[in-house]
Amino acid sequence: MTKKKQILLIITGSIAAYKSLDLIRLLKKSGHEVRCIMTKAAKEFITPLSVASLSENPVYDELFSLKNESEMEHIKLSREADIILICPASADIIGKMACGLANDLASSVLLAADKPIIIAPAMNIKMWKNKALQRNVNQLQEDGIKFIGPDSGELACGEFGEGRMAEIEEIFNVLNSSG
C-alpha cells in the first residue's frame, strides 16, 4: 500500500487547469491530503470554490493576506507538504523559479521549499520550445526539480506538438512513487 502523502498542489494559469480538478479527486480518493495554491491566472480558468470543494481544504491565493501571513503561511505550507506539485505549470512560474523570484504566494512558497518539487508543464508548442523557456527548464533540472512531460498531442489552441500536460494518471503514479 502506498504511503499517504501531504501534497501541496500549485495550480497556475493554463487551459489545462481544469485537469487539476480530476487530479485532486483521484488523490483524495487514494487517501492523500491535498492543499492547494492558485495563482491569479489560474482563477481565470477554474474557481477556488471548485478546488476547495474537491480538496476539502481552503484555497490559498494571496501572499499578503492578513490572516494567512500573520501565521507565515508561505513557510508553513511549504513545510507541511511531503511533495509540492505544480500542475499545470505555466511558462511564468517556471521562469520565476529559475530566476529565484518570489513576488506572489506560489513563487514565495517555492523559494522557501525544502521538499521535492515536481512540475507538470502545459503550454503551446512555441512557448515550450522557446529558447528562454528551455534555459529555465534546464536550470531547474540542474537544481534537482523533476518534470513530468509535457507530452505531444493536440493542444488547446488547435496546434499539434509538445506542450500538452501529461495525463493525470501518469502524474498520479509519479506522485505515489515519489518521496
DSSP label of 43: G
What are the backbone angles phi and psi of residue 116, rounded to the nearest 5°? -60, 140
Q: Which residues are catalytic?
A: 157
Distance CA 1, CA 152 (A): 32
**Grid cell listed for 113:** 521549499
Q: How many CA atoms lie within 13 A of 148 on its CB side?
A: 23
Q: What are phi and psi of 167, to 5 degrees?
A: -65, 145
* Rg of the chain on CA atoms, in Å: 15
Q: How many whole angstroms separate alpha carbon 43 and alpha carbon 176?
A: 27
